[in-house]
Structure 1
Amino acid sequence: MRGKNLMQSFARNTTSAIAVFLIAGAAFGDEDGRKLLDLEPMVPGPIITLGELDDRGGGFDASGVTLMAWLPLNNFPGGHGSGNDCWGYVSPSGREYAIMGLERGYGFVEITDPANPVIVASISGPTSLWHDVKVIGNYAYGVSEGGSGIQVMDLSDIDNGNVTLVRNQMSGGHASTHNIVANPDAGTLFLCGANIANGGLVNLDMSDPTRPTVSGAWSNMYVHDAQVVSYTQGPYAGREIAFCASGFNNGWDSTGLRIVDVTNKSNMFTIATYFYTSPAYSHQVWISPDKQYAYLDDELDEDFGLVPTTTTRIIDISNLSNPVQVGTFTSNVPAIDHNLYTRDQYIFEANYTSGLRVFDASDPVHPVQIAYFDTYPSDDAPAFNGAWSCYPYFPSGTVIVSDINRGLFVLRIDAIDADKLDVQLVGSPPEMLDPNGGTTLQATIVEQGETIEPGGVQLVVVDGEGIAHTVAGVETGPGSYSFASPVLACADQVEYYIEAQAASGAYYYAPLTAPSVGYSAIVASQAVPTFEDNFESNTGWTTASTASDGQWTRGVPAGGGDRGDPAQDYDGSGRCYLTDNVDGNSDVDDGAVTLTSPAMDATGGEVFLNYARWYSNTAGAAPQEDIFTVEVSNDNGSTWSTLEVVGPTGPEVFGGWVYKSFAISDVFPTPSNQFRVRFTASDFGSGSVVEAAVDAVSLVVYECDVPPECVADRTGDGVLDFFDILDFLSDFTAQDPSADIVQDGVFDFFDVLEYLSMFAAGCP
Structure 2
Amino acid sequence: MKPRFLVALVASLSLVLASGAAFAHDDGKGFVAPPSLEMQHREFLGVKASNAQPDSNAPKGFAPCVNGMAAETYPCKKVDMMSHLSLADLGLTFGNDLWGWVDPATGKEYALMGGAEGTVFVDITDAKRPDVVGILPTHTTGAFIWRDIKVYANHAYVVSEDPGHGMQVFDLTRLRGVTGDPVTFTEDFDYQGIGGSHNLNINEDTGFAYVVGAHPDERGDAACEGGLHMVDLSDPAAPVFAGCWAGDGYIHDTQCVVYDGPDVAHRGKEICVNSAATFNDFTPEGIINTVTVTDVTDKSDPVSLSSFEYDTDGYSHQGWLTPDQKYFLHNDELDELFHGVSTTTRIFDVRDLDDISVSATTDNGNPSIGHNQYTEGKRVYASNYTSGLRIFDSTKVGAGALPELGYFDTYPENDSTSFDGGTWSNYPYYDSRSVAVSTSERGLFVLRPKGNLG
What TM-score comes out, normalization by structure 1 length?
Answer: 0.50
Alpha-carbon deviation of 1:164?
Answer: 4.7
Alpha-carbon deviation of 1:82?
Answer: 1.1
What TM-score comes out, normalization by structure 2 length?
Answer: 0.83
Partner SS for 2:336: coil
Gaps of 5+ in 2: 1-6, 216-222
Alpha-carbon deviation of 1:329?
Answer: 1.4
| Structure 1 residue identity aligned to 2:230 | N
2:116 paired with 1:88:
no
| Pairing 1:442-481 to 2, within 5 Å after superposition | none
| Pairing 1:66-145 to 2, within 5 Å after superposition | 66-77=80-91, 80-92=92-104, 93-125=106-138, 126-127=140-141, 128-145=144-161
Alpha-carbon deviation of 1:2?
Answer: 6.6
2:356 paired with 1:297:
no
Aligned to 1:334: 367
**Which of residues 248, 253, 263 in structure 1 aligns to 2:278?**
248
Whether the aligned pair in 2 keeps the contact of 1:335 and 1:352 (CA below 8 Å) is yes
Aligned to 2:198: 178
| Structure 2 residue identity aligned to 1:324 | S
Alpha-carbon deviation of 1:121?
Answer: 1.3
CA change 1:262–1:207 in 2 (3 A) is same
Alpha-carbon deviation of 1:68?
Answer: 0.6
Could you report, residue by residue, the CA deviation over 1:4-38 in whole angstroms, capped at 9, with x for unpaired residues? x99xx9xxxxxxxx9x9789989575433332132
CA change 1:51–1:344 in 2 (3 A) is closer
Could you report, residue by residue, the CA deviation over 1:522-581 in whole angstroms, capped at 9, with x for unpaired residues? xxxxxxxxxxxxxxxxxxxxxxxxxxxxxxxxxxxxxxxxxxxxxxxxxxxxxxxxxxxx
2:56 paired with 1:45:
yes
Which whole-Å CA distance do the structure 1 matches of 2:192 and 2:434 have between them? 36
Q: Which has the higher contact order (CA 8 A, sep 6+)?
A: 2
Aligned to 2:175: 158
CA change 1:24–1:94 in 2 (3 A) is farther
Alpha-carbon deviation of 1:237?
Answer: 2.0
Which whole-Å CA distance do the structure 1 matches of 2:109 and 2:156 have between them? 14
Which whole-Å CA distance do the structure 1 matches of 2:36 and 2:200 have between them? 18
**Which of residues 429, 442, 448 in structure 2 aligns to 1:393?**
429
Which whole-Å CA distance do the structure 2 matches of 1:202 and 1:277 have between them? 28
Aligned to 1:222: 250
Aligned to 1:282: 316
Partner SS for 1:217: strand
2:355 paired with 1:325:
no
Partner SS for 1:338: strand
Alpha-carbon deviation of 1:149?
Answer: 0.4
Whether the aligned pair in 2 keeps the contact of 1:95 and 1:159 (CA below 8 Å) is no
Whether the aligned pair in 1 keeps the contact of 2:212 and 2:226 (CA below 8 Å) is yes
Whether the aligned pair in 1 keeps the contact of 2:8 and 2:418 (CA below 8 Å) is no
Alpha-carbon deviation of 1:112?
Answer: 0.7
Could you report, residue by residue, the CA deviation over 1:360-388 in whole angstroms, capped at 9, with x for unpaired residues? 11111211001011111111111122111
2:429 paired with 1:417:
no
2:227 paired with 1:200:
yes
CA change 1:312–1:2 in 2 (3 A) is closer
How many residues of Structure 1 are paired with residues of Structure 2 in the alignment? 403
Which whole-Å CA distance do the structure 1 matches of 2:204 and 2:89 have between them? 31
Which whole-Å CA distance do the structure 2 matches of 1:268 and 1:163 have between them? 40
Whether the aligned pair in 1 keeps the contact of 2:227 and 2:246 (CA below 8 Å) is yes
Which whole-Å CA distance do the structure 1 matches of 2:63 and 2:429 have between them? 26
**Which of residues 440, 447, 451 in structure 2 aligns to 1:404?**
440
Alpha-carbon deviation of 1:51?
Answer: 4.3
Alpha-carbon deviation of 1:318?
Answer: 0.7
Could you report, residue by residue, the CA deviation over 1:261-285 in whole angstroms, capped at 9, with x for unpaired residues? 0111111111000112211110001
Could you report, residue by residue, the CA deviation over 1:553-612 in whole angstroms, capped at 9, with x for unpaired residues? xxxxxxxxxxxxxxxxxxxxxxxxxxxxxxxxxxxxxxxxxxxxxxxxxxxxxxxxxxxx
Alpha-carbon deviation of 1:158?
Answer: 1.6
CA change 1:311–1:206 in 2 (3 A) is same
Partner SS for 2:328: strand
Which whole-Å CA distance do the structure 1 matches of 2:64 and 2:79 have between them? 13
Could you report, residue by residue, the CA deviation over 1:270-324 in whole angstroms, capped at 9, with x for unpaired residues? 10001122111100011100000001100001011x1421111001101111112
Partner SS for 2:225: helix
Aligned to 2:40: 34
| Structure 2 residue identity aligned to 1:109 | V
| Pairing 1:624-643 to 2, within 5 Å after superposition | none
- Give the CA RMSD over aligned residues: 2.7
Aligned to 1:496: none
Which whole-Å CA distance do the structure 2 matches of 1:396 and 1:167 have between them? 30
Whether the aligned pair in 2 keeps the contact of 1:302 and 1:309 (CA below 8 Å) is yes
Which whole-Å CA distance do the structure 1 matches of 2:63 and 2:435 have between them? 19
**Which of residues 417, 434, 442 in structure 2 aligns to 1:382?**
417
**Which of residues 348, 351, 356 in structure 1 aligns to 2:389?**
356
Aligned to 1:273: 307
Alpha-carbon deviation of 1:53?
Answer: 7.3
Whether the aligned pair in 1 keeps the contact of 2:199 and 2:211 (CA below 8 Å) is yes
Whether the aligned pair in 2 keeps the contact of 1:83 and 1:102 (CA below 8 Å) is yes
CA radius of gyration, larger in: 1
Alpha-carbon deviation of 1:168?
Answer: 4.8
Partner SS for 1:340: strand
Whether the aligned pair in 1 keeps the contact of 2:167 and 2:192 (CA below 8 Å) is no
Gaps of 5+ in 1: 10-17, 421-764
